[in-house]
Structures are given as C-alpha cells and as structure tokens.
Amino acid sequence: MSDTQVSELPSQRRLSSVLTSKAPARPAFPVVSVATLGGVTALVALVALGVLLDQTVLIPPLAASAALVFAAPALPLAQPRSVIGGQLVSAVVGFVCLAVGGSSVWTSAVAGGLAIGAMALARTPHSPAAATAVIVVVTQPSTVLFLLLLLLATAVIVGVGILAGRSGRTPRYPAYWW
C-alpha cells in the first residue's frame, strides 16, 4: 500500500477520535464580557465591604462561587439556594468539626468531606462551599461574625448575578430561587 492509498489506519482513527475535543463551543464575546464584568464587580465589592468593615470578606471559595454564578448561571450549583445555603451549611459543618476535633489538617479534611454530605442532605449542592468548611477549621474565625459576613458576601454575589442576568446578553439568572 502506498501512502496515497491509505489516509488513516484503524489505530490512527481510534487515537484521533480519543484526542478529538468534546469541549463546549466558546461563548460569544458579549456573554464572556458580562460574565467577566459581573465577576470582577462582585469580587471587588466584597473587598470594598471588607475594607469598610475592617474584616476579611473575600475568601477563596467565594471567588469560585462567583465563577459558577457568572460563567455557568443555569447550573443548579449556581442558583441562590445553593450559593447561599451551601456556603452557610458548609460553614456550620466547619464550626461543628472545629468544636469536636480542634484545628488540624485532619479535622479540616473531615469537615470538607462532611460538608459535601450536609449540602446534599440540605439540597444545597455548591462545590466551592466544601472549601469554606476547611477554611473555618484552619482559621478558627469568630462564629457569628463569620456567618454574618458569609451571608452578606453570598448575597452580594447573587445580587450582582441577578443584575448580570438581566443584561440580555447572558442566560437569565437565577433559573430558580429556592
């Protein structure tokens, strides 16, 4: 067989099909623009609130929450019930684990895992929130203050998400409330 008679051998076709991208299409520029602007606005607002209150309001899991709200607003994980509820449920799990096991990497790992189950039981799945349980155990914040700031922060993210979802350039947010 010459090279001109055989364009691909069966093994090459299998390899080619495995390597072919199944990634979703790139979103339109207006969708990316609104998502980016919404994310920056929400996260900068959290920093501004932190400066005004002289408290840390922006914690890493909230940046991940914002990514879901602005880049994937139709997902169940991005809905207000999951963003607010999942973060609060996970923080409470973190505080319970902290009280029972103390602050250690072992307790933080257990807290992150238990938060997953607690969110499932509460019907508030929100993957970034498992990290909030870990942060609670590791940093040992004041319980009431942390929960109030977390509630405020998630409300800001959801609020900016609602505004972005009304832009007409992205999917409407939220898909459902509670």
Digit-coded pLDDT (tens) for 94-119:
999 999 999 999 999 999 999 999 99
Q: Which residues contact 1 (CB under 8 A, 6 or more apart)?
A: none
Cα-to-chain-centroid distance, residue 106 = 23
> What is the pLDDT of the chain when averaged over all its residues?
92
3-class SS letters over 45-105: HHHHHHHHHCCCCCCHHHHHHHHHHHHCCCCHHHCHHHHHHHHHHHHHHHHHHHHHHCCCH
Q: Please tell me whether the overall predicted TM-score, pTM, comes out greater than 0.75 for this model.
A: yes
Digit-coded pLDDT (tens) for 52-71:
999 999 999 999 999 999 99
